[in-house]
Amino acid sequence: MIEKTLLIFILQIFFTILLVTSSKIEKLDFIFDKNFTKTQSFHHRPVLKIGGSILFLSLFLFFFNYQVMLNQKILIFSFLLCLVGFIGDFKNSFSVSLRFFFLFLVVLASIIFFDIKIQNTQFLFLNNILNQNKFLMIIFVTISFLFIINGANFIDGFNGLLLIHFIILLFFFNFLNYKFLNDQNVFFVSSFLIISSFCLLFFIFPNAVIFLGDHGSYMIGAIISLIAIEISNQNPYISPFLIASLLFYIFFEVFFSFFRKILLKKNPFLPDRLHLHMLLYKFLNKKKIKKNTSNYLTSITINSVYVILMFPVFFFIDNYFFFKFYFFILLLIYVLIYNFLYFNLYKN
């Protein structure tokens, strides 16, 4: 079992190196991200955008060694989302609205097919409404998934930001699993993904030769959502707000951005350069730090702050009601950080 898993990691690294070294072949030119003018672009040289494909292939090989139900969900869900993101990555005519439409259909169909539910929201009235109305449950879970999936896509603009955050989240998920569930399926899947992500991180951080791509960020968002719901549903003693707190940074980037644009009378579905991680990048640039250094320092800073803010997980894990309060403390902290950066950059 260990030997087969080790072989998968070796194959993953070998395949990644092979793609990087052979990518100069003219026929493979299409797999590069050369668009330096798009709003969310912060790179200045062509970079391979096939990191998500490498991660998926690694997960696909893992599936045949450990055929567990959680992995089946992740594999099928990941494949469908990878397909939508892959078309978006390599077909310029695939508009944002059309991509979101297909993303919505895939998430909706997967939730219905796998009968995915959020069993507890820590609000009794909401639990009653959702449990009594299957249609509302499906819509609620679909919206929750779309928040996380799009949030993962939002922060995949800097070297290692999303992948490091993914690794940290998987560590926290394994910690919760160890404390409450000791579910071997969750442990094997999370542990495999941590090591597989580390193998890929060497090619993304600090200087990227590979990007995850939209298909990679969609896949990571789906995996985060599935594991979070699996852990939450299996143990009623885990506060749903503890899970929500762990997912807070990804949630904040989408939620705050959406309402910020509405208040500024802008289209909430169009990208801009005013997300939290982008403001931090500009703030570091303002301090005369080189652009490339600012890029990976943004990833380090945001994830370091996140880990510090998640320390209460280790001390109040058994306090069911603490995280309902702490979730709103996190909202206040992130809003204050955002406003500090924004007004520092745009005083006038």
Summarize pLDDT for 45-100 with one digit per residue, the tens. 666 778 888 898 888 888 877 766 667 788 888 888 888 888 876 776 667 778 88
Q: According to the model, what pLDDT value does residue 237 have?
A: 83
Assess whether pLDDT exceeds 60 at residue 3.
yes
Name the nearest CA neighbour of 230 among 191, 186, 192, 169.
Answer: 186
User: Is 0.85 topped by the overall pTM?
Assistant: yes
In sequence order, the 6+-apart residues with CB closer than 8 A to the CB of 293 are: 284
Mean pLDDT of 262-281: 80
pLDDT of 246 over the 90 cut? yes
Q: Is the pLDDT of residue 280 over 50?
A: yes
Closest alpha carbon to 33 in 200, 147, 156, 197: 156
What is the residue extent of each domain of the chain? 2-345
Map tokens 């062509």 to a residue: 46
- How many Å apart are CA 281 and CA 56, to the nearest integer? 29
Q: In angstroms, rounded to a whole number, what is the distance separating the alpha carbons of residues 213 and 269?
A: 19
Report residue 290: phi and psi, to 5°. Answer: -60, 150
DSSP 31: G
CA distance 301 to 284: 10
pLDDT single digits (tens) 85-140: 888 767 766 677 788 888 999 999 999 998 898 888 888 888 889 888 999 999 99
Rounded Cα distance, 168 and 330, in Å: 17
Q: d(Cα 227, Cα 246) in Å, to the nearest integer?
A: 12
The per-residue pLDDT for range 164-192, each reduced to its tens digit, is 999 999 999 999 988 887 778 888 888 88
Q: What is the mean pLDDT of the chain?
A: 84
CA distances from 136 to 108, 127, 131, 199 (A): 12, 11, 9, 40
- How long, in residues, is the chain? 348
Q: What are phi and psi of 200, to 5 degrees?
A: -80, -30
Using only C-alpha atoms, the chain has a radius of gyration, in whole angstroms, of 20
